[in-house]
Homo-oligomer: A and B are copies of this chain.
Amino acid sequence: MIRVSIVGGTGYTGVELLRLLAVHPEVELAAITSRAESGRPVAELFPSLRGHVDLRFAEPDVGLLAEADVVFFATPHGVAQATVPELLARGVKVIDLSADFRITDVGVWEQWYGQPHACPELLSEAVYGLPEINRDQIATARLIACPGCYPTSVLLGFMPLLVEGLVDMNRLIANAASGVSGAGRGASVNNLHAEVSDSFKAYGVAGHRHLPEIEQELSGLAREQVSLTFVPHLLPIIRGIHATLYGQLVQGAEEIDLQGLYEQYYANEPFVDVLPSGDYPQTRTVRGANVCRIGIERPQKRGMAVVMSVIDNLVKGASGQAVQNMNVLFGLPESIGLIAPPLLP
């Protein structure tokens, strides 16, 4: 059994980790910390976990955390970097769901997150935790930086096109939309039901923190610097991200069978599902499950490739992906604990 502890269990990625880990056959939950809720039973804050999780929130404490085999950070950015070095020094593996170690260029990180980084020397060691790109490095990592939710959907959607060099790398567009759980569980007027429901809007159009992360990884796939226009939108749903991706096909690429390319590219991936030709994904078909479903179309047989990619932002976009990383890291079957089908309707 792997002993797992969680830092920051009061947000949505925290409760989602608990939901998944509570029934993971190889995991023993050791501790979950929250400064604000210390001493309170987890199941009191999240009644859905009554009967499944008996822990109480504990004060964050490195000594306590170091008793685990692996520590998940489900915290806002800036928190993990303060504790990770000591945990690594004590031989504990770290899977960070926050943004602290996703960007390899410390200057870029500090510019977008507006604060100095506490351990820039770890940025090059941290492995970007998208198994579909970095499975081998994850298996031997000490520190895994789980991708953001938008980046997961955009990267998996664009990957075959970019690796194969089929689209104009200077004019990529990602029109994405996220359910409101992506905004977290903090009190906020903007995320009230009466403000969000029965409405739709774009936000962060001038510049969103996921942009540099996506461009960094897309550039790696393309083996050249790409330029992406990224426009996120807020959906009046709880869970789900839908990315609609646009790539102008380069000369000659119009002859290629994109459907076949995608099917072949992901044929062996347990958590990427390429839909049949003509089918487009819906966010509800991934609700609660660790899967990315993808549809491909070339409208009117013209020169624009359109890829639609959906994930559950809390699962394949966060906590499920973190568990998938853990499975790889500890040499377990990659799907263990992640096989429950989506909840539909």
Q: Which residues of A contact B (CB under 8 A)?
A: 12, 15, 18-19, 22-23, 46-52, 171, 173, 175, 177, 179-181, 183, 185-189, 191-203, 205-207, 211, 227, 229-231, 233, 235-240, 242, 244, 246, 248, 273, 275, 278-289, 291, 293, 295, 297, 299-300, 302, 304, 306, 308, 310, 314, 339-345
Find A308's partner among B51, B197, B205, B342 (CB 8 Å cutoff): B205
Structural contact, A235 and B47, CB atoms closer than 8 A: no
| Chain B residues near A239 (CB-CB < 8 A) | 198, 345
Structural contact, B46 and A344, CB atoms closer than 8 A: yes
Structural contact, B192 and A180, CB atoms closer than 8 A: yes
- Looking at the assembled complex, report how far the CB atom of A15 sits from the nearest CB atom of chain B, in whole angstroms: 7
Structural contact, B185 and A186, CB atoms closer than 8 A: no
- Looking at the assembled complex, report how far the CB atom of A251 sits from the nearest CB atom of chain B, in whole angstroms: 14
| Chain B residues near A275 (CB-CB < 8 A) | 47, 50
Structural contact, A197 and B193, CB atoms closer than 8 A: yes
| Chain B residues near A342 (CB-CB < 8 A) | 19, 48
What is the bound-complex CA distance between A171 and B299, given in angstroms?
Answer: 12
- Looking at the assembled complex, report how far the CB atom of A180 sits from the nearest CB atom of chain B, in whole angstroms: 4
What 5 A-B pairs are tightest by C-beta distance, nearest first?
Answer: A199-B284, A48-B344, A201-B282, A193-B196, A48-B342
What is the bound-complex CA distance between A48 and B308, given in angstroms?
Answer: 16
| Chain B residues near A308 (CB-CB < 8 A) | 201-202, 205
Structural contact, B206 and A297, CB atoms closer than 8 A: yes
**A181-B194 in contact given A282-B47, A343-B287 (Cβ < 8 Å):** yes
Structural contact, A340 and B242, CB atoms closer than 8 A: no
30 contacts between A and B (CB under 8 A): A15-B345, A22-B341, A46-B344, A47-B279, A47-B293, A48-B284, A48-B344, A51-B273, A51-B291, A171-B248, A171-B304, A177-B233, A179-B194, A180-B193, A192-B193, A198-B238, A198-B240, A199-B237, A200-B283, A200-B310, A201-B280, A202-B280, A203-B280, A205-B295, A205-B299, A205-B308, A227-B302, A231-B244, A239-B345, A246-B246
What is the bound-complex CA distance between A173 and B236, given in angstroms?
Answer: 24
Structural contact, A201 and B283, CB atoms closer than 8 A: yes
